[in-house]
Chains A and B, each alone.
Chain A
Amino acid sequence: MSHLVLESLEKSFNGRKIIHGVSLAVERGELMCFLGPSGCGKTTILNMIAGFHSVDGGEIRLAGRSIGSLPPHKRNMGMVFQNYALFPHLTVYENIAFGLRLRRQPKAVIEEEVRKVLQLTRLTGYERHYPRQLSGGQQQRVAMARALVIRPDVLLLDEPFSNLDAKLRQEMREEVFEIQRAVGITTIFVTHDQEEAMAISDRIAVIHQGVVEQLGPPRVIYERPASEFVATFIGEVNAINGRCSGRVEHGRVRVETVTGQVFIGMCDSSIDSGVDVVLYVRPERMQIHTPGTSLDSTRQSLPGRIERVTFLGARSRYGVRTELGWFTVETVERQTGLTVGEEAVVSWHPDQAFVVRRRSQLEPEREPLSNRVVGARRGVDVGI
C-alpha cells in the first residue's frame, strides 16, 4: 500500500479552480518531486497535504487513513518552508525542541533527540545562536532539523533552496538528499528548478495548470515526455511540426510535415492518423555532418546552413537553419571542421525522436536568439 495517496484532489480560490483533480501515490521512503513553473499549483497541493489549505474535493490518505479534514497540528508532517519560517525569538536549540516540547517529551529525551539531529545536520555548537545570526545555509539546516526531529510521517519541502546562491544550493541539495536517504523518510519536494528535481528525485510529478502532466522517474520524464508541455519545460528540444500518418512497429509513428517529408519517432500514447503532432529531438541526440557524408541507413537527416557556432568547452553547439526551422545540435566532437555559413546536414536516430500530440496551434517562430536563451536556462546535465 502506498504511504501517501492523493485522490482527485481539487481546490478553488474565489470561485476559480486552481487544482483540477490531482491523483498520485507516494511510496514509503520515496523522494517525490513536484516540478512545475510558478503558479502551476504545486505549492497549493503541498499546503493541502500539510493542512494549510482546506480540501474542496477528493481525498488525502496517509497509510490508509483519511487526513484531509484534520487541522495542520494533528497531521504530523514535517515541513521546511521556502523562507525557513524559523522562530526569530527562539534560539536554534529552542527552535528544534519546539515540536518535541509540544509532544510533552521528557527533558532528557528532548536533549538527546536535539543533539542527534544537530549532529545529523552538522549544526552542533550553534544551539545558542538566534536564527538571524546564522547564514542562509545554516538557517536552512535548522529548518530541516526542526522538521525532522518530530519524526514526521512525511517530510514536505517547499522550494527549500530558492533563497540560496547557486553553489550553496547544490551543496544543500546533496546534503538534504543524504539526510533523506539516511532517515528513510517519505518526502515531497516542491521546486521549479528542473535540475534540482532531476538530481535527487526518485520520481517527478510534472505539474502544469493544476494537473499532473506526467509522473515518472527523471530519466523517463526526460527521454519520454508525455506531452508538449513536459517536452519543452524540461531540457531543450528541437521541434518538427507535422501530422500523424500511421503507426509502424515497436511503438513508433510516422509524422508527415507540411513539406511532405516523413519522419519516424517513438510514441507511447495512441495517436490516430490525421492528428496534429510534434516530433522532438534533444540537441545532444543529434549529430552534424558535412554534406555528402554517408549516413547509417536507419538515421534520418535534414540539410541546412550553419548560422551559429558556440564553443562551450566540453561541448560545442551548432545553430542550423533548415527548411523546417531552426535546429540546435550539441556535440562533444571537437573537429567537425564546420564553421558558420557552411552547408551541413543534421541527423538523428528515430529511437531518439519522440512524438506527442500537439496542443497549441501557435508554434512560435523559432528564432536563434530565443532558442539560445531558452537553451541556456533549461540546459540539463545529460549524464544523469
Chain B
Amino acid sequence: MVSGRRVLSMVYAVVVYLFLLAPILVILLSSLTTTNYIVFPPRGLTLRWYGELFAHHPEFISSLWLSIAVAVGTAVGCTVFGTLAALALHRYPVPGKGIWNALFASPLLIPSVVLGIALLQWYSTLGIAASSWSLIIGHFIIAFPYVVRLVMARLQEFQSSHVERAAANLGASPVQVFWKVTLPLIRSGMMAGAVFAFVTSFDDLTVALFVVSTDVQTLPVRLFNYMQYNYDPVVTAISSVMVLLSLVMMIAMERVIGIGQAFGVSKTHTTKRGTVHAH
C-alpha cells in the first residue's frame, strides 16, 4: 500500500518532468535531422546543420558574442551596485529606505514590454543609439531586483548571528570587519545574484526587441526574427548551442553554490547541525 503510493507519486513526478523537458529534448534531437525542414522524430543523424550554422550564419555567432558580452556586463554591474545598495539599505540609516526598497523591487511588477516601450522612447528622445551599453542598462533594470533580494537575504541571515560584533570584539576595525567577515559571508548571495543577472539578460527577448537595431541584435532577437520566416534546422542547431550553454551555466551554478540554494530551496532536507558539507 505504502509503496504503491510511493510508486504512484514517482510516476506522477516523471510525467511532469517529461512535460518540462519535452520541448528542450525535441529541439536537441531535431537539430540532428538530415531533412531540409524541421521534423520530429528526426530522420537520420547528421551534424550538417551545425556546420551550416558556423559556415553560413556568422550573424548568429556575432549575436551570441553580443549576448554573452551584454549578460556579463549586466551581471557585473548588477552585482556591484546591487551589493552596495543592499548593504546601504540593510544597515545604514539612509533616508527614504522604504521608497528605495520599493523602487528596486518594482521592475518585477512592470511588464517587460512596457519597459521596452519606455526605453525605446527615452533613448530616441535622448538620441542614444543601440549598443551593448543601451542593452546592458535595460537588462540592469530587470535583473537588479534579484541581486538586491539575494544579497539582502544573506545579510539578514547572518546579521542575527552577531558574527560582525564578534569580529569587532576581537579587534577588527569596521573596514576589517567588512573585508574579513561581511564580504565572505555575502559572497554566495552575490554569486547567485550574478548568475541570475546573467541568465535574465541572456534570456531576455522583450526589452531587447525595442532597443536593438539591425546591426546590434542579441541572440534571442536574432532567433526570434529568423524563426518568423524560416523553418529549417539551423534554428534548432543554434538553439541547441544555447541549450548546451545553459547546461554549462547550470553545472557551474551547481558546483559553485548549488542550484537549489540559488533559487532559495534547500538541497537536503536538513542542512542543520551535524550534516557535513564539503567546502
A and B touch in the complex (CB under 8 A): yes
Known A73-B171, A89-B184, A150-B171; contact A132-B165, beta-carbon cutoff 8 A:
no
Q: How many Å lie between the Cα of A51 and that of B162 in the bound state?
A: 13
Main secondary structure on B side of the interface with A: helix
B170 within 8 A of A: yes
Report B258-279 CB contacts with A as 1/0, cut-off 8 Å: 0000000000000001011101
Interface flag for A99 (CB, 8 Å): yes
Q: How far is the CA of A98 from the CA of B176 in the complex (A)?
A: 11
Considering the complex, which residues of chain A in the window 122-172 have a beta carbon less than 8 Å from any beta carbon of chain B? 130, 132-133, 135-136, 146-147, 150
The verdict on A106 contacting chain B, using a C-beta distance below 8 Å, is no
Contact A88 B185 (CB under 8 A): yes
User: Of B162, B169, B276, which one neighbours A73 at CB under 8 angstroms?
Assistant: B169
| Cα separation A130 to B277 with both chains bound (whole Å) | 9
A contact residues around B161 at 8 Å (CB): 83, 85, 88
The answer to whether A78 and B185 have CB atoms under 8 Å apart is no
Q: Using Cβ atoms and an 8 Å threshold, which residues of chain B touch A78?
A: 169-170
In contact, B273 and A136 (Cβ under 8 angstroms)? yes
Q: How long is the Cα–Cα vector from A103 to B279 in the complex, in angstroms?
A: 27
Known contacts being A85-B165, A135-B273, is A99 close to B279, with CB within 8 Å?
A: no
Contacts of A72 in B (CB 8 A): 165, 168-169
Interchain CB contact under 8 A, B168 and A98: no
Contact pattern, B 208-235, Cβ under 8 Å of A = 1, otherwise 0: 0000000000000000000000000000
What's the minimum C-beta distance from A96 to chain B, rounded to whole angstroms? 10
**A229 touches B (CB below 8 Å):** no
Beta-carbon contact of B167 and A89 below 8 Å? no
Q: Which residues of A contact B181 (CB under 8 A)?
A: 87
Q: In the complex, which residues 75-96 of chain A have their Cβ closer than 8 Å to any Cβ of chain B?
A: 75-79, 81, 83, 85-89
> Does residue B247 face the partner (Cβ distance < 8 Å to A)?
no
B29: CB under 8 A from chain A? Answer: no
The distance from the CB of B184 to the nearest CB of chain A, in whole angstroms, is 5
Binary A-proximity of B174-194 (CB < 8 A = 1, otherwise 0):
101100110011000000000
Check A130–B279 contact: CB distance below 8 A: yes
The reply on B166 being an interface residue by CB < 8 A is yes
> In the bound complex, what is the Cα–Cα distance between A99 and B168 (angstroms)?
9
- A135, A136, A150: the one contacting B170 at CB < 8 Å is A150
For the complex, what is the distance from the CA of A261 to the CA of B180, rounded to whole Å?
A: 70
Which of chain B's residues has its CB closest to A89's CB? B184
Q: Are B171 and A52 in contact (CB under 8 A)?
A: no
On whether the beta carbons of A99 and B171 are closer than 8 Å, the reply is: yes
The interface size bin for chain B is: 20 to 34
A267 within 8 A of B: no
Chain A residue with the shortest CB-CB distance to B271: A132
Residues of B within 8 A of A98 (CB): 167, 170, 172, 180
A103 to B176, alpha carbons, bound, how many Å? 12
Asked if A85 contacts B171 (CB within 8 A), the reply is: no
Question: Contact check: which of B165, B173, B176 meets A81 at CB < 8 Å?
Answer: B165
Inter-chain CA distance A52–B168, complex, in Å, is 9
Cβ proximity bits A57-84 to B, threshold 8 Å, 1 near / 0 not: 0000000000000011111111101010
Question: Is A26's CB within 8 Å of the partner chain B?
Answer: no
A166–B273 alpha-carbon span in the complex (Å) = 18
The one of A74, A81, A88, A99 in contact with B162, judged by C-beta atoms closer than 8 angstroms, is: A81
CA distance A83 to B165 in the complex (A): 12
A81–B177 Cα distance when bound, in Å, is 17
Judge whether A102 is part of the interface by a CB distance below 8 angstroms: yes
A118 on the B face (CB < 8 A) = no
The yes or no answer to A50 lying at the interface (CB within 8 A) is yes
Nearest A residue to B164, CB-CB: A85
Closest 7 CB pairs of A and B: A99-B170, A85-B166, A72-B168, A85-B162, A102-B171, A79-B169, A89-B184
- 6 residue pairs of the A-B complex, CB under 8 angstroms, read A50-B169, A78-B169, A81-B162, A85-B166, A132-B273, A132-B275
Residues of chain A touching chain B, judged by Cβ–Cβ distance below 8 Å, are 50-52, 71-79, 81, 83, 85-89, 98-99, 102-103, 130, 132-133, 135-136, 146-147, 150
Interface contacts beyond A50-B169, A135-B273: sample of 16 additional A-B pairs, CB < 8 Å, sorted by A: A51-B168, A51-B169, A52-B165, A72-B168, A73-B173, A78-B169, A81-B162, A87-B163, A87-B166, A87-B167, A98-B167, A99-B170, A99-B171, A102-B172, A146-B170, A150-B170
